[in-house]
Structure 1
Amino acid sequence: MREIIFNLKVIKIELDDEDDAYIIFETLNTRGQDLTLSDLIKNSIGSLFEKNGDIDVLKILWQKIVENISNCGDAVKIDNFFVHSWVSRFSAVTKQKAFKAFKSKLRDGIIAAGESSGRSIALSHLKAFDKDSERYFRIYRPDTLFKKYQYVLADSLRAMRIFNVEQQIPYVLSLLRSFDEGKIAYKTLRKAMRSVENFHFQFNAITSQRSSGSIASMYGRAARNLYEAESSDAAGIVIESVKNELRERIPSKEEFALHFRSIQYNKMIKSNSLVKYILLKLSYIENILFDVNVDRLTIEHVHAQSNFSETWPDNIINSLGNLILLSEERNKILSNKSFPQKKQIFNDWGNAVPSFVVEKSDWTPEDVISRVNIMTDIAYNRVWKI
């Protein structure tokens, strides 16, 4: 530590013009460790604010942006937010080229409006980023930020986290912006989000396909068209075009079925979030009535997980067809009971258990296969249909 400290070098540069300080700041940092995109954007906006006065506005708004993105979670990077916000409004850029696009947009705006407009143009960009950072937070943390009647929208956003996809974010950001600004109704927003959710469930979560970049490009283009739409009708046309493009890209039923039937409960993963998500969505079609809120549901194996054998191998026991959702209390009641014992209890619980299971006098591996085939057909043709 002592050697490091004594080998440090401090360079002091005195300048007559504050604008030159920002240029030096950017130039010197390209010689060493690169500045982040957020550093460069803040620097450019700050250079257009008055030295004494409005700099407090910059500090306040910038802090709000940083806090919103920080609260999204450790895995969410602020530079990604700036790219997604920019792509959703102005142009398709990579993280490496985003600052150049921002500087160019800032410069062109000032040239068009006059040199004295620099501060107001910079402030408008800063406020736009601030509003988008609030929407970004809603995308990643939907649980507490939507009204109760908007639970369907929150469910779709939570599903995106389960699927671990990001290509859609500029489009989702633009959808939320259009809703906030009154350009589209909640019903339109909900349907648009459901189509995105259903596509990525099929394309990413089930068939594990990779996009060549065309899907991200499509979303970015749609996001900008939505941003530029001047009426609800124009916005509706954009949203409908996205649905049509997504329909054209969904996997075939044969491909979907092959992968869907192979979904397994993983006893090494505590959450099994994708399995729970699938069972919950299917339960709405089956008219299942739960005794607790859905976030408290647990996964129960109809044929007990511990009773594996040659007849009941792991791949059958952990198949979707052998799984149901129950409250933790009811799960404990069933424990490792035999199916005849469980069936008596199921009868007392009414619609808490799928009728396919309750109606069986015995539970066999063939029943599991039969049930997963039925689930596959319902999933493709009804639940996740675009």
Structure 2
Amino acid sequence: MPPKNEFLHYEALGIARLLRTRALAVPFYQRSYSWRTDNSASQDVDEKQQVVDYWSDLQASFVNRTSYFLGTAVVARAGQDGRQLVIDGQQRLATTSLLIAAIRDKFFDEGEEAFAASTQQEYLGKFDRRVGADQPVFILGVEDRDFYDRRVVQRDGTAVPTNASQDLIENAYAYLKEQIGTFASQAGTGWRDRLNDLVLWLDEDVQVVAIDVATEADAFLIFETLNDRGADLTIADLLKNFLFSQAGPRLDEVRDAWVATLANLDIERVGNQRFTDFARHLLSSKYGRTRERDVYQRIKGVVNGAADAVAFAQELKDASRLYYALLSADSDYWADFESTVSDAANVLVELNLEQFRPLMLSVLSTFSHEEIERFVPALVSWVIRGLSVGTLGAGTAETAFSEAAREIRSGIVTTTDQILADTKVGNLVPDNQTFASAFEIWRVTRGALARYLLRALELQERGEREPELVVNSDVESVNLEHILPKSARANTWPDFTTDEQKTFVHRVGNMCLLQKGPNGRIGNKSWSVKQPILGASSLKLTNSTANETNWTKGSIDHRQKVLAQLAILAWPRTPRA
């Protein structure tokens, strides 16, 4: 161990030797295990399969008898219970532990208990007389440590994953056990020697550069320098490690605020897309539209030293509670407001748009309680109007919302009326004539949006107050019916050519709400079958469709013009009194 007063000490050593000679722990604020064996659970076909790549590269290097470099591992000496804290390298160390555990299991399965016990004691769990059991040489993060200890170190087959990161550990463990079985069988009767050689090779030739520093703050400073270009790191990784590196003696304050931020956002592990969106939208609300690729550099430009790091971390903590309120109408933030406000928030959540979030962050941070109650319902109307005319394209709209957000934070704009009259947001919200003209030909392909529009219009037709705040609470009992079916047959719908079917089927005027029972019976049926069922509906706008003797292009156009006039009233441009 290097002298305690030495800022930095480094050495190249085998990754298994690092496990064998150090007592290591992942700090509670680091992200959980995240390496994958496949991308079946991801929407992204390019999702990395790190465990597969790890084993493939190791195996090729072993067969060719060449050394293999796994990068750096940054550790701080100031750990708990004499352990060093792993600031960088935990994914590689954890996966190597799983590989060694797979080798140990193969020794056990084949009756080579001495080799299995030696592998266990040297690299996985050392026997502790005080507790009468093996204690892990490497302790994972808080969400994974108990499962890893039971399932991997103690070989407890009854341990069941209870979260996503534990599923990843289980999958990686199973994959590596399968690969080790194949790897051993290729050596025939010499399987034991081959596995023993693999362990020694991991101990000596699969190398990392271990960088030891005195404190966590020093470790994050080193990590920040090593990863300055941001390769293969998430926004959350980069931001966290930069803030921690800047924190100096105030690291505890920054760390506590960071942990609270993740809790406020309900994030299971650091680095998912929710945090990235939050950081981008927060910065957009302060400095104007910020692209994802610019988040890290923008933060580096405004945080310089411990005081800035603490202030920004506290801002993340405060803003994250507000941001979660944008994602969930069940957030306790809305408890202090009238029900109409939480209803409006729920509608905005259902619409699932991101462009206006910077504006909402500024409003919730700055406006008075009363003004927030005016703004949130008004935003619902603005969004619907903007969607109908197509002004909410991601780039243009987010720029306008972000500029307005910045003007709110600077004190230039202080009311909902000013947002509409004095900022570029007003350009996104069409007047009544433009809105009606766009609504008359609006095609809506999102079922949830179409269902919301029809529910609000139904309430407007019934004379309800604030119909735009209706929430889709009964989606299980009411279906969205396309009167001209999406799969219309030419013999039952002869008035529509194939191209006309594609044009008219998603028109708002062609859709209505219907109870599930009747809807199930009429599906792709003809108008003569649908007409009496629609006419029996208790919903006014559905019932009125039965007045048509035949359902034609003209019927759809006429009905949608009627709905457009209702829409002007349902989603007013100016805030309601």
How big is each residue's C-alpha offset from its partner over 1:84-142, in whole Å with a ceiling of 9 and x where there is no partner? 112213455444443343334332xx6xxxxxxx35x4333212212222222222333
Q: 1:286 aligns with which of 461, 465, 480?
A: 461
Letter in 1 for 2:321: E
Q: Of the two, which has the highest radius of gyration?
A: 2
The answer to whether structure 1 residue 248 and structure 2 residue 427 are counterparts is yes
- The equivalences for 1:1-386 within 5 A come to 1-3=58-60, 6-8=67-69, 9-14=207-212, 21-30=219-228, 33=231, 35-49=233-247, 55=251, 57-67=253-263, 68=265, 70=267, 76-90=273-287, 92-107=289-304, 118=306, 121-142=308-329, 146-147=334-335, 148-161=339-352, 165-178=353-366, 182=368, 184-204=370-390, 210=393, 213-229=395-411, 234-236=414-416, 238-241=418-421, 245-250=424-429, 257=437, 260-261=440-441, 263=443, 272-287=447-462, 293-296=473-476, 297-302=478-483, 308-313=492-497, 314-315=501-502, 316=504, 319-332=507-520, 349-354=537-542, 356-358=544-546, 360=547, 362-365=549-552, 366-379=554-567, 381-386=568-573
How big is each residue's C-alpha offset from its partner over 1:208-262, in whole Å with a ceiling of 9 and x where there is no partner? x746x454333222212222339xx8345643446x6334345685797467526
Letter in 1 for 2:424: E
3-state SS of the aligned residue for 1:185? helix
3-state SS of the aligned residue for 2:475? helix
How big is each residue's C-alpha offset from its partner over 1:62-105, in whole Å with a ceiling of 9 and x where there is no partner? 23433516379x98342232121122134554444433433343
Q: 1:60 and 1:368, CA in 2 relative to 1: closer, same or farther beyond 3 A?
A: same
3-state SS of the aligned residue for 2:273? coil
Q: 1:150 and 1:330, CA in 2 relative to 1: closer, same or farther beyond 3 A?
A: farther
Judge conservation of contact 1:184–1:235 (CA < 8 Å) in 2: no
Q: CA deviation at 1:170?
A: 0.8
Q: 1:160 and 1:343, CA in 2 relative to 1: closer, same or farther beyond 3 A?
A: closer
**Larger mean Cα displacement after TM superposition, 344-353 or 60-69:** 344-353
Structure 2, unaligned stretches of length 5 or more?
1-57, 70-206, 465-469
Judge conservation of contact 1:261–1:376 (CA < 8 Å) in 2: no
Letter in 2 for 1:178: T
Letter in 2 for 1:187: E
Judge conservation of contact 2:480–2:513 (CA < 8 Å) in 1: yes
Structure-2 separation of matches of 1:370 and 1:59: 61
Letter in 2 for 1:175: V
Greater strand proportion: 2
Greater helix proportion: 1
Structure-1 separation of matches of 2:255 and 2:331: 27
3-state SS of the aligned residue for 1:311? coil
Structure-2 separation of matches of 1:151 and 1:77: 21
Paired residues, what number?
353
Letter in 2 for 1:311: D
Q: CA deviation at 1:325?
A: 0.6
Alignment RMSD (CA, Å): 4.1
Q: 1:288 and 1:367, CA in 2 relative to 1: closer, same or farther beyond 3 A?
A: farther
Structure-1 separation of matches of 2:354 and 2:515: 32
How big is each residue's C-alpha offset from its partner over 1:256-280, in whole Å with a ceiling of 9 and x where there is no partner? 7467526266xxxxx6223223322
How big is each residue's C-alpha offset from its partner over 1:180-204, in whole Å with a ceiling of 9 and x where there is no partner? xx45534322244235413431343
Structure 2 counterpart of 1:114: none
Structure 1 counterpart of 2:191: none
Structure-2 separation of matches of 1:141 and 1:102: 27
Structure-1 separation of matches of 2:531 and 2:290: 58
Structure-2 separation of matches of 1:7 and 1:193: 56
Structure-2 separation of matches of 1:75 and 1:384: 35
Q: 1:30 and 1:127, CA in 2 relative to 1: closer, same or farther beyond 3 A?
A: closer
3-state SS of the aligned residue for 2:512? strand
Scaled by the length of structure 2, the TM-score of the pair is 0.51
Judge conservation of contact 2:419–2:426 (CA < 8 Å) in 1: no
Scaled by the length of structure 1, the TM-score of the pair is 0.72
Structure 1, unaligned stretches of length 5 or more?
111-117, 266-270
Structure-2 separation of matches of 1:320 and 1:16: 65
Judge conservation of contact 2:518–2:533 (CA < 8 Å) in 1: no
